[in-house]
Each structure stands twice: as structure tokens, then as C-alpha cells.
Amino acid sequence: MSSKNLVLLVVAHQPYIRHVEDEEAHALENDMLFNSISNVYIPLLNTLRDADSRFSGSRFKISLVMSPTLCEMLSDEEIQEQYVAWLERRIALGEKEIARCADDGGMLLNASETLEKAKNDLSDFVEVYSRNIVKAVSDLAEAGRVELLATCGTFAYLPHYSDMTEVLNAQIESGLCSHRRFFGSLPDGFYLPYLGYSVGIERVLRSYGLNYSIVDGRSFFFSKDDVADGIFSPVRCEKFNQLVFFANDSESFAELREYSEKGVFKDDSRDIAFDLPVSDLSDFLFEDSARIPTGFRYYAKDSSLYDSAAAQKVADECASDFVEKKVGKIVEAEKLLCKDSTLVCTVPAEMLGACWSEGSSFFARVIEKVVRGGSGVELTGCADVLRMLKVMKVEPQLISLYPSSDSADGFCEDSLDSSNAWMIRYARKMSCRMIDIADRFPNDTGLKIRLLNLGAKELLLAQSGEWARMVHSGDDDDCPCFAEYAEEQFKEFIKSFIIVYDSLGSNTVSTEWLTRIERRHRLFPWMNFRIFSKKK
């Protein structure tokens, strides 16, 4: 193993949004997942499979987080059917677009490329991956090309519950149970959503046998201790706690955002769905439904006609710049520290295609340039770094980490401000009630068990950090406004939990209501409400 290591950690998460019966009314919300499958997950799988084939004689590994809610949706057969139908409608629209753009060479080329991609997506999803993206990821992990990390059951921002150990246990335990169900093993590492760290989380993580986690670079920089190796070596927080923390390179995300804004890249906000008459979109849109993005986008960010060849050339230049910066950091650190150096860079999955159309090409080129760069830097995973340190009998430094996150200005302010502060009040109150009833009904059976398990699931969903962030971003012009939808979903989860709580108290339950909610929220079929019980 090299003494200079680069860890590329891709973080894939999406909130649990499942609308099957009312698909037409929620086409825009469903579109979030479908676009991500086409533009992020399938391209990412293709990139890793291609790299595995092309660089079969080279050592490289990518780290990956796939949140439990994302895995649940990707494994849902009804959602898979919806996605196939969505692609077929996109292909039908594409055929019409070829005819409409026949007299404009530039637009015709763009329409043809988009149509071809839709056809390839359908072929890859159905034939290559047998509709099972999670299984394809698991296969890459077994082949040693992907190092999987677990994360919280519903991607909750844990510092909001730092004084409620039972909630921390429930989120971590549900994440690990889900990971084992989908990937057949337990991981070495655990990803803290939004890199949210607060003092004491390390004890809970270690109690589940985990070996490492990631924190934002600020946790190292603002420590009251002198961190000898900066962000280039892992550290520990407690003398008798073997869990180690790696620091994320805080500059990486800003660099990716800067690359994605270059004028030559595709303007993802300018879609024919918002330019053409509704009659021209009838092959794709549901009747009387809201306009949703079609994926047919013909212009670059500088308002010129999109040129895919020019965009790919710039994406290659961006990849070269990114690799040069990261390799330069690692090499310089090794020289100054006179020891092995590791740099961890987290990459939000949406930057690899959903928010930046050329992101998947950029990522493929980054892998190639590191593997074939000849710099001596190796693409690896944190678990491999830890094994190397153990062989070399190197003890990580003991420091006090500073509480922080990678969101907003470093403290996840967008999850708790004047727009969404009311949400945490309800989530915490319901958490107290769940902890109470988990201990009050430990040995019940039948309908009560179903009620308790449903209550646990509804509470976990309410704790998801995405709802508060959507409400916060309600006035953000850079993204679709899902504030009203997020508020509606959050209230639905809370109301369902209150019904569960009241039903247990009155010893009555509507089996029709219980069955309907269970059918609507099909995640975590293994759920055991006792994950909220106080540990003896």
C-alpha cells in the first residue's frame, strides 16, 4: 500500500419519497429519484465497472455511502416499475423532439444525445443491472473496488439529539441493520449525516463495533489540542476508545461547485418542459399534472447552444486541476510530516450528475488520472489505511474534537433556524414518547407490536434531516421549492406517531388505518421498536 493515500468518499442519500397510488399528483417529487438514477447512480456504476475492467492490474478503491432510505427506494419493485415507465415516456418524447428539431443541426444533435442516453439508461437498468442497483453496488464491494460505509437509518442530524442516547442508538442501529440487509455485512466505517459531530457520539459508535468515522476539517482545526498531523492522519478522542476519526478536506466541495458553474457546461435549469406548450409534452407529462423536467436541455450556462464535446474537454481540464490540487496537498504533507499522509474528500452524489450534468464524466477522469498519474498517490479506503497503521504499530493522536458539521457555515444552521425550528420541537417530544412506550410495552404481541413498529418507523422518518433543509431552502431560487411538500410530509409522520401513541394508551386501534400506513411506508420491514429502548 502507498504511503500517500487519497480517499474519495461519495455520499448518496435521498429522503424517503414514495408515491405509487398518487403518482400523477406527485410527479415532481418522484422525479427527484428518477433523475438521480439516470444521472448519478447508473453512470456511477458504469464508471466503476469500466474502471475495474480498464485498471484490472492496478489497486484502487472508492468509498461509498448509500443511505438506508435510498436503498429502500431503489429496491422497491413498484418504484422500479415507475422508473421504467418514466424512461419510456422520456424516450417517446425524445422521438418527437427529433422530428421537431430536424431543421436545427445543433439542437438536433443535443436531442439525439439525450434520447440515446435515455435508451442506454433503460438498457442498463433492465438488462445490465436487472433493475437492482443496490445488488450491483454490493457486487463491486465484494470485488474490492468499493468500500461501503453505513449511515443513520434516516439521515438524521445527530447533534440535535446528542442528549438523547436512545435516539442516537436507534438511528445508528437502524442504519446498521439496513446495511446488513442490503449488503450482507457490517462495515468498518460509519458516516455521520452532514458530518455532524458532537462530543460523546464516538462512544455510541464504538459500542456497535465500528472502527472509524469522518468529521469536518473544522473539528480538527478548532480543537483545543495541537493536532500534530493536521487533517492528514486519523485521530482518537478517548484513551480507551479505539474508534478513530478522519478529517474531510473542507475545500473539496467548494472546488466542485466552482467547476460546475463554468459557462460551457449544460444549463440544467433550462429544460424544454418550461419552454414548450403543454401539448408538445403530452408524451411525457401526465394529464393535468404540473410541468416537470424532461431532461431535454439544449443550452449551456452561458446561454449558447450546448456543445457536448467542448463540455467534456473542460470537464477533463477540471479533473486535472482537482487531481493536481489533491495530489499536491498529499505530497507536500508527506514531505513536511515525514510520514504517511491520507486526504479524505467527500463528494455529494448529486454533484456527479444531478446538479452537474458533466459530473459523472469529471469523476471518471479523476479516477483515471489518479490511477495512471504516476504520482505514487493511491485511491484507497479508510479501512485500508487503518489496517496499514495497525501493521506499522502507529497509534493515532489523542485529541478533543470540536463539534461541527460540513453544512452551512459549519454548524448545520440550515437545519435549525427561524424557518424550521418548530420541527425539532415536535421530533424531540415524539422521541421522548417513543422511548417511554418502548419500555412500557416490551413484551406485547399482535396488533400492539405492529403499532409500536410503525410508530418507530414514523418517528425515524420525522427525524430525517432533509425535511428541515427543504423548508429552509423554500426561498432558494437555485433549486425547486419543496418546502410545502416537506412540511406536509413531516406533519404526516408526526400525526401518524400521535395516532399510534393514543391507540396504545386507549387500547384501541383501527386495523384499516394501520394497514394503510404500513402499505404506504414500506421501508424497514425488519423494524423492531426496541431499538428505542434504554440500554440496560
Q: What's the rounded mean pLDDT across residues 299-317?
A: 97
* pLDDT, mean of residues 461-469: 96
316, 365 contact by CB (below 8 A): yes
Q: Supply φ then ψ for residue 528, to 5 degrees.
A: -130, 115
Q: How many Å apart are CA 269 and CA 386, to the nearest integer?
A: 43
- Phi and psi at 489, nearest 5°, equal -65, -45
**Given pLDDT bands bounded at 50, 70 and 90, which one contains residue 312?**
very high
As a dihedral over the C-alpha atoms of residue 509, residue 439, residue 200, residue 387, rounded to 10 degrees, the angle is: -90
Instruction: Give the span between the Cα atoms of 388 and 3, in whole angstroms.
Output: 9
What confidence tens digit (pLDDT) does each residue in 363-406 have?
999 999 999 988 889 999 999 999 999 999 999 999 999 999 99
Which pLDDT score, from 0 to 100, does residue 363 have? 98
Q: What is the pLDDT of residues 13-38, one digit of tens each?
A: 999 999 988 888 888 899 999 999 99
| pLDDT value at residue 141 | 96
Q: Residue 65 forms beta bridges with which residues?
A: 11, 149
Which of 97-111, 281-295, 350-364 is the least confident region?
A: 281-295
pLDDT at residue 465, as a whole number: 95
What share of the chain has pLDDT > 90, as a percent? 85
Amino acid at 318: C
**φ, ψ for residue 529 (rounded to 5)?**
-60, -15
Q: CA 515 → CA 26, 447, 518, distances in Å?
A: 22, 10, 5
Q: Is residue 477 over pLDDT 80? A: no
pLDDT of 120-138, one tens digit each?
999 999 999 999 999 999 9
In the structure, what pLDDT confidence band is assigned to residue 410 with cuts at 50, 70 and 90? Answer: confident
SS3 for 379?
strand
- Which residue, among 403, 414, 437, has the nearest Cα to 505 in the 3D structure? 437
Whole-angstrom distance, CA of residue 355 vs CA of residue 352: 7
Please tell me the distance from the alpha carbon of residue 159 to that of residue 136, in angstroms, as a whole number.
Answer: 33
Stretch 196-212: mean pLDDT, rounded?
97
Predicted pLDDT of residue 1: 59
What is the pLDDT of the chain when averaged over all its residues? 94
Which among 416, 457, 415, 450 is positioned nearest to 434, based on CA atoms?
457
Q: What is the pLDDT of residues 153-191, one digit of tens each?
A: 999 999 999 999 999 999 999 999 999 999 999 999 999
Report whether 359 contacts 318 (CB < 8 A). Answer: no
Round to whole Å and give the CA distance between 469 and 457. Answer: 20
What percentage of residues in the chain have a pLDDT greater than 70? 98
Q: pTM value?
A: 0.95
Residue 100: per-residue pLDDT:
95
Cα 350 to Cα 356: distance, rounded to the nearest angstrom: 8
Give yes or no for residue 481 having a pLDDT over 70: no
227 Cα distance to chain centroid: 30
DSSP codes joined into one string, 261-312 = T-TTSB-TT--GGGTS-GGGGTTTSPTTPPP---S---BBTTSSBP-HHHHH
What's the alpha-carbon Rg for the chain, to the nearest Å? 24
297, 268, 285, 311: which is closest to 113 by C-alpha?
A: 297
SS (H, E, C) 144-208: CCEEEEEECCCCCCHHHHCCCHHHHHHHHHHHHHHHHHHHCCCCCEEECHHHCECCCHHHHHHHC
For residue 444, the number of C-alpha atoms closer than 13 Å in the C-beta half-sphere is 19
Instruction: State how far the Cα of 136 lies from the Cα of 120, in Å rounded to an integer.
Output: 17
At residue 25, the pLDDT reads 82
**Buried (b) or exposed (e) across 450-480, using 16+ Cβ within 10 A?**
bbbbbbbbbbbbbbbbbbbbbbbbeeeeeeb
